[in-house]
Structure 1
């Protein structure tokens, strides 16, 4: 049985008595079936305030710490400042931006539910209910970039993406040519993931004269490529039967990535002004996007 984390008022009083009689805190913790830290905190509180009862708390315990609250406040301030700077951008300005990101796609659903792939009208058909062995599940990570003028190839990221790999496998062969195709005023958008902001990557960005957009931390609702991932997921789920292995999943992801209509991508990027408007309306907080 795991040790308890709390003591009743009666046990607290008994524990203080035993401590005053010379019983060691670790021995007392074993006697009362609690962690030694419980006894140590009880002893410290008794010496500090002279009582064993915990102070009365009002309402539910806090979900976030004060440090987390300060982080959230800084984050909303950054989002608000970024949206204030970009809310007046016109479509031709957003057309210069290459929005990029990585995303993970799982062979098996992550929620533990059982799904049945079937066509409309086949709900009770015996042939539509077939258990399939998916070879242990797993997932693939892909990287992609979109703009109103082009989309990059969908790149399969194998293993951990480091700063050096991000430079050698993505920035040099994929991002730089895409930015050159967009035009001399092209802008790279990528988030603040550690590989994207490594010293090696920052040096390469400067040497390659890449115009990089400052991006507020933890702001996926501002990035239109997030909806591109949702669209990609829906398209893959329409395949019947579902992918049997990771190789087939990757093949379908790349196929559907190339099949997403350009008009849909343009609509996503054209929503940037409204995203900024809603972010400001929510004082830098989350939006419906």
Structure 2
């Protein structure tokens, strides 16, 4: 273990006491597990000032003013995707020349950290209006009304690995080390799509969608055997093309099941 370079106030006092008792500086350094130069500087400081505490240091001069700090924060808040170099160039064009690391340090002081953004769907004014209208229509629904809704959806699960970004811890030169290589099939590993519906009273059987789901197959394999026997008043499904086909709309009207309209480009509801 390499020797320490700093001592606590208690250790400094102990070191001065040993030195005054005639213990050699090298032996004191060994007892405190520090470099001998640390004890020698401590002895010189005590002889010159009579104190063992380190003197206050001014540190590196700050290159930005408070006004420039506020400018940096405002630029980052107004344009969240701007890089540190983008903000540095804007600041340089107005008043000061600083490094990109200085910009990062100022943003860190304000509690801002660079993180991967959450991916969201592009929403137009019509999308937002439809969302608001749907929320206004259902904002006063009670538990009894929501209990009459069957939430349905399909989900696709990858058989190969997680779809998210995967990182691995490794040292220099361990790029191809065992345990640091993510093995994958060359032409994908396939996936499984399943469908299910849930409500506060029941849960439909899990249905395995074998091939591409069409409107006719959605009616004959899912709606007729699984949704209709559930005897719900409303059922909610997404805006996938098979769900909006003419055959499905006709079947829903004949079965007298109310479909809960879902705004386009809307996130899925979490029934929990």
TM-score range, shorter chain: 0.3 to 0.5
TM-score, normalised by the number of residues in structure 1 = 0.44
**Structure with higher helix content:** 1
Q: Which has the larger radius of gyration?
A: 2
Query: Which structure would you say has the larger RCO, counting Cα contacts within 8 Å and 6 or more residues apart?
Result: 1
